[in-house]
């Protein structure tokens, strides 16, 4: 809008500012905000943000990439492929939920089952060969 200065725009809430930076490590966010990580964590707790999601987002992205690569190489008739596609959908929807700014939930709603963890480990080992 012409003639509208930054002072006239509505102030962004702390929570909105956090959501915009959740793709960054907490150290970079605290530096960007001009506070120490400890102060940032205190501010987060005061605003009902349980944990910084960067590492969780990064891990979900890695898991999705591993599953996606394995699904592309796998035989379509393999019964495990359908199960992996379901897991991939769950991981991607969880990542989208976190990226949408739902920071108040403490932990991921996806619990990686021991079976899923074993499969991811096996796929990583196969890729490393």
Q: Each residue of 81-114: pLDDT tens digit? A: 888 888 888 888 888 887 776 665 444 545 566 6
Does 28 have pLDDT greater than 90?
Answer: yes
> In the prediction, which pLDDT does 3 show?
47
Q: Are 66 and 56 in contact (CB under 8 A)?
A: no
Report yes or no: 57 and 95 within 8 Å, Cβ to Cβ. Answer: yes
| Tokens 């379901």 sit on residue | 86
Helical axes 54-73 vs 79-99, angle rounded to 10°: 150
Q: Give yes or no for a contact between 26 and 52, defined as CB atoms under 8 angstroms apart.
A: yes
Q: For residue range 44-87, list pLDDT tens digits in order.
A: 888 777 788 888 888 888 889 988 888 888 776 677 788 888 88
The pLDDT of residue 13 is 77
Q: What is the mean pLDDT of residues 5-23?
A: 66
Position 129 scores a pLDDT of: 63
Model confidence, pTM: 0.63
Between residues 36 and 77, the one the model is more confident about = 36
């Amino acid at each position: 809008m012409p003639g509208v200065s930054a002072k006239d725009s509505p102030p962004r809430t702390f929570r909105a500012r956090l959501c915009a930076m959740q793709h960054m490590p907490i150290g970079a966010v605290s530096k960007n905000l001009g506070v120490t990580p400890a102060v940032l964590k205190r501010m987060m707790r005061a605003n009902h943000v349980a944990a910084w999601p960067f590492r969780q987002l990064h891990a979900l992205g890695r898991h999705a990439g591993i599953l996606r690569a394995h699904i592309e190489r796998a035989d379509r008739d393999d019964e495990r492929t359908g199960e992996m596609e379901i897991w991939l959908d769950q991981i991607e929807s969880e990542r989208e939920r976190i990226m949408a700014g739902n920071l108040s939930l403490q932990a991921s709603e996806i619990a990686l089952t021991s079976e899923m963890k074993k499969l991811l480990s096996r796929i990583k080992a196969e890729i490393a060969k």
